[in-house]
Amino acid sequence: MIDLSTYISSTNGKAFAVLGLGRSGLTAACALAKSGAKVWAWDDNPAGRKKAEEADLELVDLNSCDWNAVQTLVMSPGIPLTHPSPHPVASSAIQNGVEIICEVELLYRAVRNATFIGITGTNGKSTTTSLIAHILTSAGRSVAVGGNLGTPALELPQLDRTGIYVLEMSSYQLDLLSSLAFDVALFMNISPDHLDRHGDIDGYIKAKKHIFERQTKNDTAIIGMDDDYSRGVFDAINQTGTVRTIPISGSTRLAEGIFVAEGLLIDDAFASQMDIADLSSIERLPGNHNHQNAAAAFAACRSVGLTNEEIITGMKSFPGLAHRQELAKVKNGIRYINDSKATNADAAARALSSYDNIYWIAGGRAKEGGIESLSPYYPRIRKAYLIGESADAFAKQIGNALSYEICGTLDVAVTKAANDAAQSTETDPVVLLSPACASWDQYRSFELRGDHFKECVEKISHQPVKEIAS
């Protein structure tokens, strides 16, 4: 847990109010208290307040507290700051001139001498964050990775000036920063998401652009160029002239950028059109979206001093991220890919664009629009296996455009897909779980759904696949 005592000693002795006592909020409250701060903890949910009591934290109803006695409000990112309407506690803090921050801001205030790399965007954040951290670690650097990905910021180890924090940043977290300046800031891509919390797409982009605030010419802004919104962000940041900008792409050649063309990673930012690596040989980074992730990771790692060789060595040993196009098994020439994290059609499109001869398992609790947008990928799909409450609706959307079978449950779908793939004469068949749906109709989380897929695959792999249906 991060020691905040040096930072606390510089404050005026007022209380730190902590609103929201989930994992990150409770960690923040405990870290503050352990470091000698006066902490007022509150959660609108009784279960959260019970956790605070068990941690010996002082409970104070922030809906009716004395704001004159409060130094800072540390608010969990999941609590609305602006849209659809501010939480009443946030409104009171603003009215009383009390700053509102999240725990990532506290991390920065405690360890300002470390290097901070921040990654945001709609898709690819987690993979890019993990890839950067893996490359840096494999090169022998002192690294801590977390933020929106897994470990709360204040649970990370305390690094010195040689250390590097690699932090996935959500739009909610970025709204709650006030002094953190990222040494390297990555803006991957944008597609409409979380609009209920940001009002509209412009509000969403504005929140994401906070990642570049307070950067100077000594810092680096790395920006994806594979969607119109992000190209607009690049133009806006580049025109300020206050920070070094590096454009990246997974599919398009760029002047003075890092990009992938015909599977080759090319550096035109730190060198002149230098071929760096053939990404087609890296199993865990398939598809244009992962090529963009690789370009982003290369730009970030070069920006903090790694060599080309160190970066490529790290990429080649990257194990991938669970449930995100995770290679679960190769058996009898069939690849089994766990992409359970694909909970909407946009995410499933990324997987479908990465393979040929696909035996596609899809379904669950559908998002708006279902799978209508995925029809351009149907030529890659040999058959679809539909599960969950969306199965009938997806069957109607597919119509006669694609061979499909309603399977109901994942175990049935895996068995049938494996059998069909084994009997095919195609090259490199792939059984792909990329549901384009939430998991909540049959599983508590996409992680449990992905784990069940891998369990089903393990059972199949104990015998030749062609014997499954016999």
Alpha helices for 241-331 (secondary structure H): 287-303, 308-316
Contact 77, 173 (CB under 8 A): yes
Asked whether residue 263 is marked as a ligand-binding residue, the answer is no
Is 277 in contact with 194 (CB distance < 8 Å)? no
373 marked as binding residue: no
CA 339 to chain centre: 14
Nearest to 388 by CA among 416, 407, 404: 407
Q: Is 242 annotated as a binding residue?
A: no
Report whether 429 contacts 336 (CB < 8 A): no
Q: Alpha carbon of 41 to those of 61, 62, 458: distances in Å?
A: 8, 8, 46
* Cβ–Cβ < 8 Å for 239, 227: no
Which residues share a beta bridge with 174? none
Whether 189 and 123 have beta carbons less than 8 Å apart is answered as: yes
Asked if 112 and 105 count as a contact pair (C-beta separation under 8 A), the reply is no
Give the span between the Cα atoms of 177 and 105, in whole angstroms.
6
CA distance 375 to 243: 41
- What is the CA angle 176-178-182, rounded to 5? 95
Count of residues making up the chain: 470
**Which DSSP string do the residues of 190-225 spell out, in sequence order?**
--S--HHHHSSHHHHHHHHHGGGTT--TTSEEEEE-
Is 217 labelled a binding residue?
no
Q: Is 121 annotated as a binding residue?
A: yes
Find out whether 125 is annotated in a ligand binding site.
yes
Q: Which residues contact 202 (CB under 8 A, 6 or more apart)?
A: none
Coil, strand, or helix at residue 2?
Answer: coil
By 3-state DSSP, what share of the chain in percent is helix, strand and coil, each rounded to 5? 40, 20, 40
- Nearest-10 crossing angle of helices 125-138, 308-316: 120
Q: Is 307 annotated as a binding residue?
A: no
175: exposed, middle or buried (Cβ count in 10 Å: 0-12, 13-18, 19+): buried
Strands 334-338 and 404-408: unpaired
**Distance, CA of 231 to CA of 234 (rounded, Å):** 5
Cα-Cα end-to-end distance for the chain: 55
Residues marked as binding for ATP?
A: 121-127
Residues marked as binding?
A: 121-127
